[in-house]
Amino acid sequence: MYRNSKVAVIIAAAGQGKRLGAPVPKQYLKIGGEYVIAKTIRAFEDIDEVDYIFVVTNDEYRKVCAKIVEDRGFTKVEGIVAGGARRQDSVFNALQEINAKKPGVSLVLIHDGARPFIGRDVILNVIAETESTGAAVACVAMKNSVRRMDADGSSSTSVDRTDYYSVQTPQGFRKSMLIEAYDRAYDESFEGTDDASIVEWAGNDISIVDGDYGNIKITTKEDLPMENRVGTGFDVHQLAEGRKLILGGVDIPYDRGLLGHSDADVLVHAVMDALLGAAALGDIGKHFPDSDEAYKDADSLKLLEKVGKMLEEYFYKIGNIDVTLIAEKPKISPFIDEMRENIAEVLGMDKSRVNIKGTTTEKLGFTGREEGIACEAVCSIYR
């Protein structure tokens, strides 16, 4: 509560995020191991002046959102509302929910679910200005020069950037003002670019509150913060007669090969597990189980290629891969360059960032007794 005014926050998170090109809506991606939507909710959950939070999300993600809210112990989330066809419809749905569940609310803040880096001071300043003037929007001054395209598109004109601001969220309004503006917009078929534009169109003044340049909206992959990760992988396969010995995608002449459901390429398997681990995507057993006949005698390089595409879907790039093969025999030095080329090619990276080396256990253990071959891999990835 702020000065005897109950404050509700609508987090608009019903967008599909198609411009980002991710396999899930951007608000359900993870940054630093946490969901974007959870980071956004947390920013308001931790503000004493905020009484209630209503999250608007895609209908198909309502259960996912509810699970995130439950797992993180958010206590102020009073509703998870199904979004509409437009952002305007989604906010309107949330307003109806607020009126039904918390009619005593006086001030409503609306914030983009994909702005997880909103700071405490900006939130408090928007609340204070909203209580004072009725409508307030977080904005930042334009940094770059601005030009306006002429109507026919043939030329452009320089614009004084000091007269313009870049609009952010949260945007705050007296609830009565916001509902009246929305009702009128629906009656007259007006569609605004944001909530402030609807309230302004309805005849109300909008105050500006200093925003924060760090309060970015995640829209394209370039908006995601840089993130570096490290993964490790380890695999072992038994040597057996009647099998080919495939290591790093190379068919190596030897009297025995490795036993396994696929081609049992222990080196590639270790690399796959390292990459999956770095991206927190599980392991090869999860994605390519040996109970699935589709992977019987499978070429492990093709499976590695699939792992590389999984990482791409989450916007990860591979920094480097370092592999240690542990075997008494055979010597792999004549084949290392070809192995490096194979791995680099399927992952779309330069061979200079793939290192492979071999070692023995000085005849100790199962590898020393030539019963099997082991491999460990370490990788770095970044986003």
- The one-letter amino acid code at 246 reads I
Q: Residue 153 sits in which domain range?
A: 6-223
Spell out a b/e string for 111-125, using b for 16 or more CB atoms within 10 Å of the CB, else e: bbbbbbbbeeebbbb
User: What is the pLDDT, as a whole number, of residue 226?
Assistant: 78
pLDDT of 335 higher than 80: yes
What does the pLDDT average to over 352-358? Answer: 97
Q: How confident is the model at residue 148 (pLDDT cuts 50, 70, 90)?
A: confident
Kindly report, residue by residue over 54-67, the tens digit of the pLDDT. 999 998 999 999 99
Identify the weakest region by mean pLDDT among 89-98, 130-139, 141-150: 141-150
Residue finishing a domain among 223, 243, 274: 223
* 359 bridge partner residues: 326
Kindly report, residue by residue over 236-259, the tens digit of the pLDDT. 999 999 999 999 999 999 999 999
Same domain, 45 and 154: yes
* 41 bridge partner residues: none
Q: What is the dihedral of CA 15, 18, 19, 22, to 10 degrees?
A: 110
Could you tell me the two tokens for 171?
């945007």
Contact (CB, 8 A) for 142 and 102: no
- Max Cα–Cα distance, the chain, nearest Å: 85
Q: What is the CATH number of the domain that holds 81?
A: 3.90.550.10
Q: For tokens 């990459």, what's the residue?
A: 275
Kindly report, residue by residue over 203-221, the tens digit of the pLDDT. 999 999 999 999 999 888 7
Residue finishing a domain among 223, 244, 277: 223
Q: Which one, of 240, 274, 249, lies nearest residue 335 by Cα?
A: 249
What does the pLDDT average to over 96-120? Answer: 96
Q: What is the CATH number of the domain that holds 308?
A: 3.30.1330.50
pLDDT of 313 higher than 90: no
Q: How confident is the model at residue 17 (pLDDT cuts 50, 70, 90)?
A: low
Q: For tokens 């499978």, what's the residue?
A: 298
Q: Considering the domain boundaries, does residue 1 fall inside one?
A: no
Same domain, 374 and 265: yes
Same domain, 208 and 270: no
Same domain, 163 and 312: no
Q: Considering the domain boundaries, does residue 179 fall inside one?
A: yes
Q: Which one, of 263, 247, 235, 234, lies nearest residue 343 by Cα?
A: 247
Residue 147 main-chain phi, psi, to 5 deg: -130, 145
User: Strands 354-359, 317-326: parallel, antiparallel or unpaired by DSSP?
Assistant: parallel
Kindly report, residue by residue over 264-288, the tens digit of the pLDDT. 999 999 999 999 999 999 999 999 9
Same domain, 273 and 200: no
Q: What is the CA 320 to chain-centroid distance, rounded?
A: 22
Average pLDDT, the chain: 94
pLDDT of 154 higher than 70: yes
Positive or negative: CA dihedral 18, 19, 20, 26: negative
Q: What is the CA 360 to chain-centroid distance, rounded?
A: 41
Same domain, 171 and 295: no
User: What is the pLDDT, as a whole number, of residue 297?
Assistant: 86
Same domain, 213 and 240: no
User: What is the pLDDT, as a whole number, of residue 356?
Assistant: 98
Same domain, 177 and 98: yes
pLDDT of 18 higher than 70: no
Contact (CB, 8 A) for 239 and 223: no
Same domain, 248 and 363: yes
The count of structural domains within the chain is 2
Same domain, 121 and 192: yes
Same domain, 187 and 40: yes
Same domain, 53 and 131: yes
